[in-house]
Structure formats: C-alpha cells, structure tokens
Structure 1
Amino acid sequence: MSPQPWQNKVTNAAQIGGIETAVLDNGTGRGTRVAWINTGTGLRYKVVLDRAMDIFDAFFNQHSLTWLSHTGITTPEPFSDRGADWLRTFGGGLLTTCGLSHVGGPEQDAHGERGLHGQISNSPAEIESIIQPDLLTGKLDMSITGRMKETKIFGPSLELKRTLSGVLGQPIIRIHDEVTNRGNTIVPHMLLYHFNFGWPLVDKGTRFVWRGNWQAREGGINDQIFRDGYDFKTCPAPLDSHSGSGEAVAFIDVAHDGMGECTVGLYNAKLGLAVSMRFQKEQLPWLTNWQHWGKGEYVTGLEPGTHPPIGQARAREQNTLLFLEPGQTRTYDLELEVLTDETVIDRILKV
C-alpha cells in the first residue's frame, strides 16, 4: 500500500472524511434521520435514511451537483401512493428511488391502483451496519447498509437492501441494491433511479453524455426538445415553455461498451467538471432523460431503470414487466464518479 498524504499527520479519520449520522430538528423534515458521507476529496453528500436511503444534497468542493425542489426533505409519507401525491414529497436531490413494483404515472386496472412512481421512496430504513475508514490499518473503505420494506398483509412483500459505499480519497459513490420478494406469491417488479442534476453543474452549455436509440415520450411538449435536428444533448438557458409543468422526456435504449457496461453523465466545460454514471445493461437496460428548464426550477434527470417510466399496465401490455418469484432476489449496481482530469473526461465523452 502506497503512503497516503495524511500518514502520521492525522489522529481521527473524521478529520478527512467518513460517515456521520444525525436527526433533522426543523422544518418539514423535522425528526428525519440523515447521514452525511464525506469522501475526503471534495465530494460529500447527504443520505436520507428515512426516505429509502436516497441521496439529497451532493457537493463537489463549492459546487452543488444536484437540484433541490421547493419541498426539500420531508418525513416519510407512507400513504402518498395515490394519484400524483408522490409529487408533494418529491424533494429532488441527487437520487430518488422509484418502484419497487411500479414506475410511471398514476394508473388503475384489474391488478389494482398505483400512484406515481410507487411507494419505496417513502420507506424508512432499518440500518444494519455503518463501516468507517480506519487510517491506522489502512482500510479506507466506508459503507452504510439498510433495509426498506414495501409490504402489506397478504402481500405483496418486497424488500430493498441498499449499501452505499466508497473509499476515503476517491470521489466515487457506489450503490449496491438487492430487491427480494419476501412474500409467498409471485409479484411484479419495476425500478427506476431518478437522478436529478442542477446548477452549477447543469448550466447553459453543459453537455449530456449518453448513446443509444431514443424516442420522445408521447404527447405534451416532449417533441419540442427531443426531435431530429435539435441539439438536445446540450443544456439550454431557462425556457418559458417549461414553466409550471412544462417538461420533455426521452426514453433511451442505452448503449453499452461491448462488455455490458453503460456510461452516461454530464460535462460542464466552464467548470472543468463532469459526473459519470456507470451501470450494467443487463440490470438496467433503459435510460430516461428528463429535461425541465423552468425558471427557478432548472433541472435534468438521467434515470437508469429496468423500464422507462411507462407504468405497470403498459409494461404488461408489452410483455416486458418483470416478476419476482417467492424468495427471488435481483441485484443492481451503479457507480457515480466526479471527474476533473481533462484527459479522463475526454475519454468518457467518446464512449
């Protein structure tokens, strides 16, 4: 192991980074458990333990990487799964998890009623472990693991086990998820990672990084952005047409590198700052690009998923809906990395 710059200079690893838990004591999030994770590289982020261990604030040095809605952090609302009530507790943040059995708009059919984007993001975690870096032994890995439940008597009963991890001295966030059917009947499964990026990473001229065949979502103003001849891979200035609920969405059959790994991200040349996201095509074959350029609500989403957010009913019609047998588990792995080296960024841009 090569010597670290802090060797023989630091007593407490928290001087460099690590994991710190707390409880919010004010506002709509009062009483909500959180964890601050500091990688010791300028990348630090806040995990909302009571909201599916989703990630809220995320900074690299002085720059925010993410978009925060007016709502901010709220306490979990387990019954916000009717209609569009999900939006009342959608704080934005770097990651909001959608699913575990439905992603997409509100719908009702012979199989039941489902609200926008499912229930899991309003589920508190049971924390299993927190592992801190140890400078003395040189073990610089750190992680936090918890379990969230989407369950009711007579089923369905799904469980999400999530581990967020990293290494002290690396500007990387790793997400390892395991979704298990804890019930005794087969159940549908859909999952979407709703990553939300904002200013200053996202600004006029910021470039999207992704490859694959795409199509605009049906209806609305989606084809005003996602159309042939328009540069929808470069972020515009705020748009009047995106005020209120104005937005554009594309569903992307994301391409991989030949070994099954997909790389997507954003690059702000003015800041010399990029964020890359890596995941496996086999696990998450779809990418959704959400662009909402409203004044004061300036945000874009890059959202890997098992499906585009078409809803359970449409997925059934297309014969693409996933099902989990009793006791079956599906795993998902994602890695986010902050990049500042122009050589590395150039290589990512060419994927």
Structure 2
Amino acid sequence: MRLYGRNWTRRELEARIGQIGQIGGIRRMTLTEGKEAGTELVRVRTGAGLAFDIVPSKGMDVSLAEAWGSPISWQSPNGDVHPMHYEPEGAGWLRTASGGLLMTCGLAHVGAASDDASGSYGLHGRAHHTPARHICLREEWVGDELEWSVSGTVEESSLFGSRLKLTREYSGRLGDNRIAIRDRVENVGFRPAPHMMLYHFNFGFPLLDEQTAIRFPSARCEARDAQAPLDRHSTWESPAAEASEAVYYHHLREEAADTDGMAEASLHQPSFPMGDAARPVTVRLRWSADTLPMLVQWRMPGAGEHVLGLEPSNCKVEGRAAEADRGGPLLLPPGSSVIYKLELIVT
C-alpha cells in the first residue's frame, strides 16, 4: 500500500496501529437532530486525504466530500434531510435536496416537472429521496492492499406502472484518493419502461473560486436558454446575490472517450487550502461515454448558492414530455439493463 509517501506491507502497518480505522476505512452512523434525524450515513476515509459520506437513506448518494480537511462539494442549505420530508410534486424536490458531491436524478424522470400519459413527475424524479436496502459494507485485505466497497439497491416501482431497480457499488483502496462507481439499472417489470438518468455532481468552495480552471471533454456546447452566454461556461466568478443560473449541454464527440470508453471533465484549483498551507489540487470526473453521452453543466454563481454542477446524463433537463418530443427517453425492454461507470479522482 502506498501511504504517507512510501510503500507499506500489511504487517508493517498493523504493527504501528491498534486497528485500521486509525488510518481510514468505512463506518456507519445515523443523524439524530432536526429534519436530518434518522438519516443514515456511511463515512469513507481513504487515509490519503479524501473523505466522504454515502447516504443510504437518500438513494445511495454522496453528501459532504472533503480533501485534506477542506470541502470539495457544495452543500445545500437543507442539510441531509430525511426523505420522510420529501415533497414529490412540482419543484418540492428543492426543499429537501441535499446538494453534496452527488445527487442521483432519475430513474424514470429527470429535469423540470412534467406530465405525460403515464402520470405527473416532479422535478428530477424520486431517486435522490428513495432509501436503499441490501446495504453491504466491505473491507478486505488483498495482499498488501486494503480494498473497500459500499453497495445497495434502490427500487422505483408502482402498481400497474414501471419497475426499475438500481444496484450501486462504490469501491476503492485505502491510500488511493479515487472513488469508482458502478451502477446497474434494470427493468424488472414485464413492460418496456422509460428510463432517464443524470448524475448531479456538485462542486463548491474552496475548490471552486475565481482561480479555478474548468476543463471539458471534446463536445459541442449548447446553452439551454438563449440568454446564457457561451463564452462563460468555462470560467467562474465571485458570489453575487443577483446571479442567475445557466445550463449548458455538452454533446460528447466521438473523440471525447479514451481507450477505456471514458470521458473526462476536471476542476483545477491552483491554491487549494490544507490547513495553513495551500497547494494545487485537481479533481477529475470520468464517466462511461457510451451510456452517458451528454454532460449537463449547471452554472450557479449566486450568493449562498455558489455551485457548479457537472452532470453526466443520458437526457436533457427539460422534463419527460420534452424528452419525448425529441424521440426519447431511453426505453428499457423487460428484463434488460444498462450499466453506468463513473470515477472521481483527486490529485
């Protein structure tokens, strides 16, 4: 294992500690106050500087994420609200959305509230507010490497409606500031099921400030709204109370995928704080370009809502009815599934 600037064997480390949790690992806990009461967290510490909270109570999403003690994620003013407070109609999602490193939008609907022949769909769907089950935590030595994983399933079903099942696994190694995410969404019903999926990654201060360089994969960029200037999507600015959001669609070109089929966007902060010191830090977000052919960018430099969303997706964010007008959404046949792969790497 590579840790603290040198290589260690398992026995060399074990001779120096009482338990591996002294260095890093995974730990399960439950919040107890206010609207967060009852929300379950799984805290992951890589031992190399990256720490983050997986939230089984909310779609197996990720709330606070930190690197060397400073946040890289943006947290909403709502906190990690328990899903019992969720209001699914219209834009009620905004009252209980946690922000954090990752909010899953889907599984049947993404984007603006929408109606179609199958019913009404609130903003961004139900996945972020659906508790997971079959939670499994694993720490296992493989030679001199300690591997960890956290997995669970999220089900979105309706009597006489569609039945979609998400199986998610986070995995990595102690000493490595890398999170691998593997999702499998399956239609476990007996009729074709519309499926929309968007990974709402939220980055904030101090990773995000006026010095931050934002890099995108090779893509054709399109603004959702005519008034959003295309020349500002790769820059950032200080907070302004009067700022308004802008959304951009990055349609991936064929050359955007590397030899592993992954596209990549990144944020580079040349002066990321680590206590009283600072050094350059880069956060790289990678995803499977074949199943997530679009990167949605949410740009919100407001005061108190100072956040950049980088959102690999299989759809746009104008809602299910608008997606149908464009020939979508993706239709999963009965018994079929789709695999999504993502990685977050901090260096």
State the match for 2:246 in structure 1. Answer: 248
* Matching of residue 329 in structure 1 with residue 337 in structure 2: yes
Q: Aligned partner of 1:213: which letter?
A: R
The alpha carbon displacement at 1:251 in A equals 0.7
- Residue correspondence of structure 1 range 120-159 to structure 2 within 5 A: 120-134=127-141, 137-159=143-165
* 2:35 counterpart SS class: helix
- Which runs of 5 or more residues in structure 1 are unaligned? 340-351
- Residue correspondence of structure 1 range 1-351 to structure 2 within 5 A: 3-4=8-9, 6=13, 8-77=15-84, 80-134=87-141, 137-211=143-217, 212-218=219-225, 221=227, 223=228, 226-227=229-230, 230-242=231-243, 246-255=244-253, 256-259=256-259, 260-271=261-272, 272-339=280-347
Q: Aligned partner of 1:151: which letter?
A: S
Q: How many residues align?
A: 329
The alpha carbon displacement at 1:158 in A equals 0.8
Normalising by structure 1, report the TM-score. Answer: 0.89
Answer whether contact 1:192 1:304 (CA < 8 A) is retained: yes
1:172-211 deviation digits (Å, cap 9, x = unpaired) = 1111111111111111001000000000000112111103
The alpha carbon displacement at 1:239 in A equals 2.7
Answer whether contact 2:212 2:270 (CA < 8 A) is retained: yes
Answer whether contact 2:294 2:312 (CA < 8 A) is retained: yes
1:39-82 deviation digits (Å, cap 9, x = unpaired) = 11110001111001100010001210011111011111486321
1:322-343 deviation digits (Å, cap 9, x = unpaired) = 011111111111000001xxxx
Percentage identity across paired residues of the two chains:
35
CA distance in 2, matches of 1:119, 1:236: 32
* 2:83 counterpart SS class: coil
Answer whether contact 1:77 1:89 (CA < 8 A) is retained: no
The alpha carbon displacement at 1:153 in A equals 1.5
1:5-30 deviation digits (Å, cap 9, x = unpaired) = 73632341111111100111112110
CA distance in 1, matches of 2:263, 2:31: 36
Q: Judging changes above 3 Å, is the alpha-carbon distance between structure 1 residues 128 and 70 closer, same or farther for their aligned structure 2 residues?
A: closer
CA distance in 1, matches of 2:248, 2:333: 31
* 2:169 counterpart SS class: strand
CA distance in 1, matches of 2:31, 2:302: 29
CA distance in 2, matches of 1:34, 1:257: 33
CA distance in 1, matches of 2:299, 2:93: 19
Q: Judging changes above 3 Å, is the alpha-carbon distance between structure 1 residues 258 and 166 closer, same or farther for their aligned structure 2 residues?
A: closer
Normalising by structure 2, report the TM-score. Answer: 0.90
1:244-263 deviation digits (Å, cap 9, x = unpaired) = xx211101113414533201
CA distance in 2, matches of 1:331, 1:183: 18
* 2:13 counterpart SS class: coil
- Which runs of 5 or more residues in structure 2 are unaligned? 2-6, 273-279
CA distance in 2, matches of 1:93, 1:79: 17
Q: Judging changes above 3 Å, is the alpha-carbon distance between structure 1 residues 78 and 283 closer, same or farther for their aligned structure 2 residues?
A: farther
* 1:269 counterpart SS class: strand
CA distance in 1, matches of 2:162, 2:328: 19
* 1:270 counterpart SS class: strand
